[in-house]
Amino acid sequence: EAEMAAPTMEERKACWGARDEFWQCMDRHADDASKCEKLRVSFESLCPQQWVKYFDKRRDFLKYKKKLETEGYHPPEAAGKS
């Protein structure tokens, strides 16, 4: 179907631009998605669904990696039960 077609260069650039703006917004607002809703909507409308899923996973991974780098690794068992 049409949505399986590979995005053109223009579409990819629009998608990446929307992603970057959304991510920057999330960074500024400590991941408060409600503050970045408009950017999220344009990110989702400009990027193929698969990409949105991939980028969401990627962002979680990058945040996790950054956390490990700044806080060091703590095995889950050692974490205090909340």
pLDDT at 1 exceeding the cut of 50 = no
pTM: 0.76
- Residues 38-64 have a mean pLDDT of 96
- Residues 40-50 have a mean pLDDT of 97
Q: How many residues does the chain have?
A: 82
Residue type, 52: V
The alpha-carbon radius of gyration of the chain (Å, integer) is 16
pLDDT class for 81, splitting at 50, 70, 90?
Answer: low
For residue 23, the model assigns a pLDDT of 97
pLDDT at 74 exceeding the cut of 80 = no
pLDDT class for 79, splitting at 50, 70, 90?
Answer: low
For residue 72, the model assigns a pLDDT of 85
